[in-house]
Structure 1
């Protein structure tokens, strides 16, 4: 570790803390910052980072508890029938301390906790006097979900991640031995799982923070048709499109997908058809059998056989994209011999034309099997709330992470989910549903229509936006 690395990291933390929420203590912010860097590929919102935070009294040595199915963070028991065989289930258990080294003591508490919360013969209710509510709720959700999809043979990956201001390149032998002990305990409960111990020290945190989201991307194409400077139709080789939507680690750039249509539904019929088309050995080109991809961009320029797109947002074609990604990444095909193409429609649109943008998103997705609930953020009432909040100095994050990505302070950002929870708990007087089913509030028509309708004055939403934040005496965003 270079001598100046700690100084660089501390300066970075000070800067980011001012952007995020300077009311947090240094240790609290280091924790959330660590979560954000460790889980960077998932593009989590401030609410999601805080949701997985289980730190506090009786946390059993665990600060963060996050799990994902096919890269989607799980808040509540999902529809288990929607998952295909061999879905990926990734569990992250995070221990974060702003100390200058990694200690074997970290593992002592966690090993004991793991023996409690992952022993399926032990009731979590019997542990209420031992562990805090947040940890037990997350453990219960993980248990129920894992058992619920066990018959579909999920691929379980468990990561125990330690973060500190220490040097991850020279782990003490005592620490390494205790880490192996933890790995063995986890193997006792999940014998078929892939288990990995990771360390994020000063250098790893700095490097992760420097990985910027790239919204200006080049796309190679084979043929193009254009009506002018604001619209293009291109045919792109499947390999070139794969490179366009993935980063250097071959992970999907989730942030370039319109947040309202991000939910990949691996087991649905349309994806089986796409997979069948990709695996077919006939001579039909892929674009003959697929509706293609729709992309919005603020600017486009063509040089040779490459189109350079600024502020890329893929607004339709997520299922196709993920199917292509899964096919090419997991099959390790002979990529040099892949000659098939994908049809891509590109619309160049001024970013200030938000209403036009929403109309395009809604229209292109109504032509597919996407659930109406996924398009809530394009509703007129959602735009009205966003504009009203802006006039009051608040940022309504109807488009996930839009305001986070442009550097707005976390305490001024209100998500659709958080506003829905507050309304359900206070106005509708159903706090149990607000806490137990946070993600379902805007998915179900019956609850959505109660929370968001034009008969409700905007001042009511403004009041609700202040209430949950004011309730957080520890300065953290609400769980």
Structure 2
């Protein structure tokens, strides 16, 4: 590494700071930058990165904490934690990962940092630890992250998961010149993680400016090559037979991990050890089975261009829109064998791949809907292709805001992060402010739209497009207010109350509680938002009522924030009235 890498990284962080409406400090921006690029391969959105950042003091030497199941980020409302049947369908031996990040702007790596994380993990990984005693030493944010990991582990024990505990230590120092004593402490920490559970293994990595620069300057590639054996071509599109070995190469990055970003437009996630995937795996593992492509419907890829030279297709803007279950099952079942013996006969078997060439987004959406109608997919899962979603995206674009109905689409184009709004965040904003249910928005960070009823309530054609943009801007306005106050708010308190504060801001503008988003159409047309002075006053009242409600009802903060009783208590005590609400 040279000093130039540090200069470039510092410049990149300053640019990220200045792109925000209200810049964070260099340290805070560096923490988020470090978490984003330590987790580079997971394709997390800005909101997902932010949710794992541990704010405030008592962080135990951990600046970011994330839990993954089979490479997918877990949330507190993830199906496997709420639904026993979902947990039962998780693939046996799936990897459960706790990924911890420490980010320091110092120009070296220290033993003390590793000692601190070792002490923290010895306490927080203890399944018998009393959380009330832990709260004396650690922030609620940090405890909640470890709690999520331990709850997931308990729910998945019958699926015999493997456990990875990984620690990324990020500084502005040279990772290839770490002192021997620090390296020795890293080995001790890995050994501690190995011994945490009978099924766990530990891993520690050092990341400096050179490693950060390499990751930050590498955008996920959507231009890929796909070798094929035979093909039929009609105009610019193709149907190809591809060997399983070549398809595994197509799916895998340099580390052998599946390229999750080429599935961003798929309408559902990998379902794990469900019957259809077990059948696919059995067909792959049976050497006497008929040709694989006889037994499988194949893969559908949409792209903007496909060029064939010497039985190799060069594809631009690749997205796999149908065949995610097949793709992941091929990768999960055969990846290790392919690494060990790529000449095994199984890799000469064939899978059918359709390559549909169109740059027309409406046509791509039609393909996604049509190819996924053949199997049982909940209607709400096709939401990104709905007319209302495309209308919202177009309206946002007209006003230089970016509705990310395709995850990370606008971030990968370099659009300002503070003007990008995801489907989940807009849905929570509508639920909190437009429908008067901040408790529901808080309780369903990732699953709010899995119910078709909730989806229709949130994304109604009766709601004016200007109101959707106002709601997105209002929530961002409230969030930036909370994040930049002189007295910082803990991550857990922010998570619990930012939707409630947004609701109070909307109620303040209207003058009473309401549950119809179109009540906000005048505010939207005139761009009226609660002032900083109003938000400060509302926040003070909100915190007072939150503390009082917990004491009166003997609720913990999470339970209180997710309770409709608290919303009723809050609005009544502040003189705004209350609504009888159905769901």
The TM-score by the shorter chain falls in which range?
over 0.9
Question: Counterparts of 2:327 and 2:231 in 1: how far apart (Å)?
Answer: 20
Q: What SS class does the counterpart of residue 4 from structure 1 fall into?
A: helix
Question: Do residues 267 (structure 1) and 273 (structure 2) align?
Answer: yes
CA deviation profile, 1:80-105 (whole Å, cap 9, x unmatched): 23312111111101111111111222
SS in 2 for 1:165: coil
Give the structure with the larger helix fraction.
2
> Is the CA contact (8 Å cut-off) linking 2:222 and 2:316 kept in structure 1?
yes
Q: Which residue of 2 is the match for residue 375 of structure 1?
A: 382
Match of 1:366 in 2: 373
Structure number with greater Rg is 2
Structure 2 counterparts to residues 306-317 of structure 1, below 5 A: 306-317=312-323
Among residues 416, 425, 430, which one is paired with 1:423 in the alignment? 430
Equivalent residue runs for 1:248-259 within 5 Å: 248-259=254-265
Which range moves more in the overlay, 166-175 or 339-348?
Answer: 166-175
Match of 2:221, SS? coil
Within the alignment, does 1:78 sit opposite 2:79 as a pair? yes
What is the CA–CA distance in structure 2 between the aligned matches of 1:139 and 1:16, rounded to whole Å?
Answer: 29
| 2:68 aligned partner | 68
Deviations 1:354-395 (A, max 9, x none): 222111101101112334333211111111111121122211
Closer, same or farther: CA 118–407 of 1 in aligned 2, 3 Å: same
1:349 matches 2:349: no
List gaps (5 residues or longer) in structure 1.
Answer: none
Which whole-Å deviations, capped at 9, do the CAs of 1:400-430 have from their partners, x for residues lacking one?
A: 1110110001100011111112222233333
Change (3 A) 1:335 1:388: same
- Corresponding position of 1:471: 478
Match of 1:101 among 98, 101, 108: 108
Quick one: which of 301, 304, 329 aligns to 1:298?
Answer: 304
Secondary structure of the residue aligned to 1:307 is: strand
1:454 aligns with 2:455: no
Instruction: Measure the CA separation in 1 of the matches of 2:394 and 2:23.
Output: 27
Correspondences of 1:400-415 after superposition (within 5 Å): 400-415=407-422
Distance 1:126 1:378, change over 3 A: farther
Correspondence for 1:289: 295
Q: Does 1:5 pair with 2:5?
A: yes
Per the TM alignment, residue 174 of structure 1 is displaced from its structure 2 partner at its CA by: 3.5
Using a 3 Å threshold, how does the CA distance of structure 1 residues 184 and 221 change in structure 2: closer, same or farther?
Answer: closer
Deviations 1:203-262 (A, max 9, x none): 211222233321111111111111212x21111111111111212222111111133435
Specify the alignment match of 2:239 in structure 1. Answer: 233
Q: CA distance change for structure 1 residues 126 and 457 in 2, over 3 Å: closer, same or farther? A: farther
Once the two structures are overlaid, the 10-residue window that deviates more, 155-164 or 258-267, is 258-267
C-alpha separation in 2, matches of 1:53 and 1:185: 24
1:191 equivalent in structure 2:
198
Query: How big is each residue's C-alpha offset from its partner over 1:297-318, in whole Å with a ceiling of 9 and x where there is no partner?
Result: 1111111111111111111011
C-alpha distance in 2 between matches for 1:148 and 1:410:
35
CA separation in 1, counterparts of 2:274 and 2:259? 22
**Residue of structure 2 aligned with 1:436, choices 415, 423, 443:** 443
Q: Is the 8 A contact 1:21 1:409 kept in 2?
A: no
- The answer for the alignment partner of 1:55 in structure 2 is 55
Task: Tell me if structure 2 keeps the 8 A contact 1:260–1:399.
Answer: no
Displacement of 1:19 after TM fit? 5.2
TM-score by length of 2: 0.78
SS in 1 for 2:198: coil
Q: Does 1:334 align with 2:348?
A: no
Is this contact kept in 2: 1:217–1:310, CA < 8 A? yes
User: Cα 1:315–1:387, aligned 2, differ >3 Å: closer, same or farther?
Assistant: same
When residues 104 and 334 of structure 1 are mapped into structure 2, their CA distance, relative to the original with a 3 A threshold, is: closer
Moved more, 19-28 or 297-306: 19-28
SS at match of 1:294: strand
The answer to whether 1:278 aligns with 2:287 is no
SS in 2 for 1:321: helix
**SS of 2:410 mapped into structure 1:** helix
Q: Any idea what the Cα deviations from partners look like across 1:183-220, whole Å, max 9, x if unmatched?
A: 44434532331101111112211222233321111111
Match of 1:325 in 2: 331
Please identify runs of 4+ aligned residues in structure 1 that moved more than 6 A.
none
Residue number in structure 2 paired with 1:389: 396
Q: CA deviation at 1:15?
A: 4.0
- Does the aligned pair in 2 maintain the 1:20–1:408 contact within 8 Å? no
| Higher RCO, 1 vs 2 (CA within 8 Å, ≥6 residues apart) | 1
